[in-house]
Amino acid sequence: MDEFVASVENQEFPLHALDTQAAFMNVPYHFFYANSDEAGDFMPSDALRTSFYRALQRYPILAGNLRCEGQGRTTVVVERDNLNMPEYAESESAMAFGEMREAKFHHSSWPKGLSTVGAITKAGGDGRIKLLSVHVVRMRDNSGLVLFVSCPHYVVDGTGFFSFVELWGTLCRAHRADDAQLAAAAMREPLCFDRAVINRSLPAQRKPLDPDTLRVYTGFSPVADWLAWLSPTTRGALLDRARFSANVESHTFRVARAALGSLRDRVAAHMPEGHPDIVDTHVLAALIAMMVAQAHKKCREGPAASALGSLWGWLAGLAFGAPATQSLHLLADVRHSLDLGGQNYMGNGLLPHTAMCPLAVLEAPLGAETLARATELTSAIYASADGPTVASFLDMLAAQPWCFTRPMIYLSTHPTALVITNETGFKLYNGDFGDGRPEWVCTIPSFVANFIGFLPSPAGSDTEIVVNITLKAPVMRHVLGNEFWRDLATIVY
């Protein structure tokens, strides 16, 4: 640690409006490593800790303090004499690694206290928001090890997060093998934390934003404006008590790429002539949007619907008309649309693209032809995430940086709104500390309702997409019973 502290240079990182879009959320992941060879020196604690602080030298932002400057503007301040050191905890479990493996790594099999932070970004024990938290849990008889790592979205998205874990692993391998050349190469890898690179990369052209996006970000929302006015610590404390995960259920599925590819081909046969080629994840997003919309409909119309809920729905229908759309929010990475791939940008690059999808499309009986109509919608959303649209979106955020809390309020007041993020390109399984890659990687259970994540398959295999689905429990029950989905996906837990 002393080496890290000595390396710190006083500096400030003014965060971009993109960084605040999910600033109230953490990026928390668990990495499960098996000691398959029963090695006595399996992932030694000293090497893990030493290489951790070495990796931190490349990510000094993770030891900074948040300085709130009002109206949604925040800066990370790194000062050698006032470092906000990451939380780094170590413990041992009486459980064997095989017990978790037998349970397919379901969270009920995890050691107690494995996750040291939750989904919401809030202050730690010293009253400050920690920008990096780590818990190293060694399993019984050194049979394996679990790493829990979490960063708030203030400082990184999945790209920066998994790049840090990968660097930590590389430096640990180098330390254990006394490989100075490997360590030097890893420490030379260019990393960009300068948020100004986003604005420098914007095209001159602009496209008008769609009305649905403008409605989410610019509509009247006094509660959102009040939340934006609060300090990050106060806001985090309030949101942590809001119980976003109440009555929420999460399940993880595996979808074989071969089966998804076959479905894509059947859907493609029904796409309009001249439509660009569709990709697997566009079809998968469309399928899930349809499945969830139909589950919500069954909840509204089923015998389990409460009398009060039915009355409210009837009154709302009289006042506003029956709902005709479901909002769909697909997260796209601006690194692609702004051509930032070669810059190794470590800040947040995810931008939500919103569309109101007709229920007439989403509630149609599932089949290749109806799925093609829904895939037209998801493909159009992703296609709209080009440079001129991103530039217009960022212009809007710059003009009113306090609007970052509005999507959260919108989602919390629209129970059918659905968020889908495609993380299949993230390097979940690249963290090799010298004893192989993790056997399984996953986030915390019951994250927030109406959130869908597409993840890569485990190390050594590219034959599947892992899908995390988190919904309110009544909605999830209908999803689990959906025959079309059960034919395509295999439940993990």
Residues carrying an active site annotation: 153, 432
The whole-angstrom separation of Cα 274 and Cα 57 is: 51
Gap between the Cα atoms of 213 and 385, Å rounded: 12
The answer to whether the beta carbons of residues 262 and 455 sit under 8 Å apart is no
Do you know the residue count of the chain? Answer: 493
- Give the CA distances from residue 167 to residues 28, 110, 194, 284, in Å, rounded to whole numbers and listed in that order: 17, 26, 19, 32
Q: What is the dihedral of CA 243, 28, 46, 35, to 10 degrees?
A: 110
Q: Which of helix, strand or coil describes residue 115? A: coil
For 256, phi then psi, to 5°, come to -65, 130
The residue whose two tokens read 């499945």 is 291
The sheet that has 489-491: what strands, in order across it?
Answer: 350-358, 325-333, 418-422, 451-456, 464-472, 248-256, 489-491
Q: Of 332, 335, 73, which is closest to residue 201 (Cα–Cα)?
A: 335
C-alpha 309/C-alpha 472 separation (Å) is 15
Q: Is the dihedral of CA 465, 470, 471, 474 positive or negative?
A: positive
Per-residue CA distances from 215 to 21, 210, 305, 332, 370 (Å): 16, 9, 30, 19, 28
Element (H, E) at 489: strand 489-491
Q: How far apart are the first and last CA of the chain?
A: 39
Tell me the H-state helices in 22-178: 45-56, 97-102, 158-177
Who contacts 277 (Cβ-Cβ below 8 Å, separation ≥6)?
Answer: 268
**Angle ∠(72,76,80) on CA atoms, nearest 5:** 160
The strand pairing partners of 491, in sequence order, are: 253
Kindly state the DSSP code that residue 120 receives in the 8-state scheme: B
